[in-house]
Structure 1
Amino acid sequence: MGEVAQRLRDAAQRLAAVSDTPRLDAELLMADALGIERQALLLDPARYDVPADFDALVERRMAHEPVAYILGYRDFWTIRLAVGPGALIPRPDSETLIAAAVQHFGAAGPRHILDLGTGPGTLLFAAMSEWADARGLGVDASDVALGYARANAIALGLADRVGLMQGDWAAGVTGRFDLILCNPPYIAESEALMPDVADHEPAGALFAGADGLADYRRIIPDLPHLLAPGGIAILEIGHTQRISVSEMADAAGFAVACRQDLAGRDRALLLTFA
């Protein structure tokens, strides 16, 4: 076994104490330390020497720092997003919303997209990458998160098609949008989270009152005024929240459908005019 392969194995064994994906974490950290993509590392690990700073990266992960913050990016859908402290890390579960939007619109796509709580631009830029003619608006309360979104818009070549504004959900937003995306905080304040989430990611992007539903109560009543005829709003939900959030959407006059994530859990509510 080559030195890199052995060090990957050793690191994965250590990281198993703090991570659900220890081998993947080790591979990503090794590739980052080498300045290459993970795929190149996996194709031929024997061609590389162990970089001097690999152990330091592993120690950061052992202290529960998220891998995405260590690397400075997270891949999502078909794009790579810069992320760091103060920005919610994109999750694979959220790709359920983009898949639902692609299924709904097909190649024609939406003309105007709104992303409420855009963070580093996760949902907005993934959607815009699908449709070259779409224009987008991203709103977030955090100037730190918007800083990452601005950098990502430039890096992805989307800056001339997107507007980014600091705001309180839909307050001050005007116009009509064919596609509205939103991944609001939906965790109850009493819920315990893993240290790499609780101690590092912004609480304001995670927690939503005693029952985790506080932000839905504010967002959903504004959606009928923002959604264009024939449009769709797609909201991420916690996997136990389908009934509660669906009742709010129904009360606002929407027809509601649900999509599951890859694990089969309720993850996205699709709202259209009834």
Structure 2
Amino acid sequence: MPDRRAAPLGEDVRAAIGAAAARFGFSATPRLDAELLMAHALGISREAMILTRLGDPVPDGFAALVLRREAHEPIAYLTGNRAFWTIELTVGPGVLVPRADSETLIEAAVAHFAGRAGPASVLDLGTGSGALLLAALAEWPEARGIGLDASEAAIAVARDNVRRLGMADRARIETGGWDGMDGPHDLILCNPPYIATDAVLPLEVRVHEPATALFAGDDGLDDYRRIAQVLRPQIAPAAVACIEIGSDQGDSASALFRAQGMSVEVRQDLGGRDRCLVVTP
């Protein structure tokens, strides 16, 4: 078998992207993956690369990125960033990669506050990279918020994102759990672990992303059970909590919050899958 480490990737950027994409057959987006890695190696945006640099020589470092992607390392870890809602986040190992499905929570919050004053106080439980908190603060410039996480790695990344996005005067990242802090709040956001322990996941998720941010017991509901018991005192009277769920957890997760006397609606993501519990007191 030939040594893939020595396999040429092409004489120019265009050819190398095609060769790399052919090696990413495990990915749902092999061409996009290759383009993002090449743009990162060139130090420019993907759009600028496509418009002006496809005929350039292959940059140093691209082959190493291809090998790491072949080992199923997430693209966001390789490039160090991820777009989410209207912001660009720094991400890295030890922190869950923000996903487009999670933007459903921000959409639900925008719908809740349509036609009324936006939230003054935002709480993000299990903030990770700070994605939900900082997207909400970008949406409502007058709001202030707190992001809580138990992971030191996540706290470091989230604080860096606060600084980079110029929100240090509006956002605090603290160590904490589902019990919250300084409530009640107008908007609570939460993307807890919700995957069953024995679930089959892509290698790039199971091997590279933090298990503590993914798995929640045999049925994936362990963290919802805890959150449901402590959430109500954290929500202001006219407030809302937007909580991410797995696509098969609409009924089971909703029941936990309704049992605590809260009202729950289920919002779907752009793929038509149950994705967000919209919880009100």
User: By the TM > 0.5 criterion, same fold?
Assistant: yes
Are the counterparts in 2 of residues 221 and 252 from structure 1 also a CA contact under 8 Å? yes
Q: Which residue of 2 aligns with 1:81?
A: 89
Of 100, 111, 130 in structure 1, the residue corresponding to residue 120 of structure 2 is 111
Determine whether 1:38 maps to 2:28: no
Aligned residue number for residue 156 of structure 1? 165
> Once the two structures are superposed, what CA deviation does each residue of 1:37-66 show, in whole Å capped at 9, x if it has no partner?
111112233353321211111111001111
Between 189-198 and 202-211, the greater mean CA deviation after superposition: 189-198
Q: 2:130 aligns with which of 98, 114, 121?
A: 121
* Residue pair 2:121, 2:187 contacting (<8 A) in 1 also: yes
Identity %: 55
Residue 175 of structure 1 aligns to which amino acid in structure 2?
G
**Residue matched to 1:145:** 154
Displacement after TM superposition at 1:187 (Å): 0.3
CA–CA distance in structure 2, aligned partners of residues 170 and 134 of structure 1: 21
Superposed, 1:130-141 pairs within 5 Å as 130-141=139-150
Gaps of 5+ in 2: 1-9
Tell me the distance in 2 between the aligned counterparts of 1:175 and 1:262.
Answer: 31
* Residue 175 (structure 2) aligns with: 166
Shift of 1:91: 0.6
Correspondence for 2:267 among 238, 259, 264: 259
- What residue is the counterpart of 1:4 in the other structure? 13
How has the CA–CA distance of structure 1 residues 176 and 63 changed in structure 2, closer, same or farther, with 3 Å as cutoff? same
Matches within 5 A, 1:1-274: 3-16=12-25, 18-46=26-54, 48-106=56-114, 108-170=117-179, 173-273=181-281
TM-score by length of 2: 0.93
Q: Deviations over 1:140-167 (max 9, x none)?
A: 0101100000000000011111111112
C-alpha distance in 2, partners of 1:168/1:249? 18
What whole-Å deviation, never above 9, does each CA across 1:232-262 have from its counterpart, x for those lacking one?
0010000000001111111111111111111
TM-score with structure 1 setting the length: 0.95
Q: Which runs of 4+ in 1 moved over 4 A?
A: none
Tell me, yes or no, if the aligned pair for 1:141 and 1:169 is still in contact at 8 Å. Answer: no
CA distance in structure 1 between the partners assigned to 2:59 and 2:133 by the alignment? 36
Instruction: State how far apart, in whole Å, the 2-side matches of 1:176 and 1:28 are.
Output: 41
CA distance in 1, matches of 2:46, 2:11: 17
| Corresponding residue pairs, total | 271
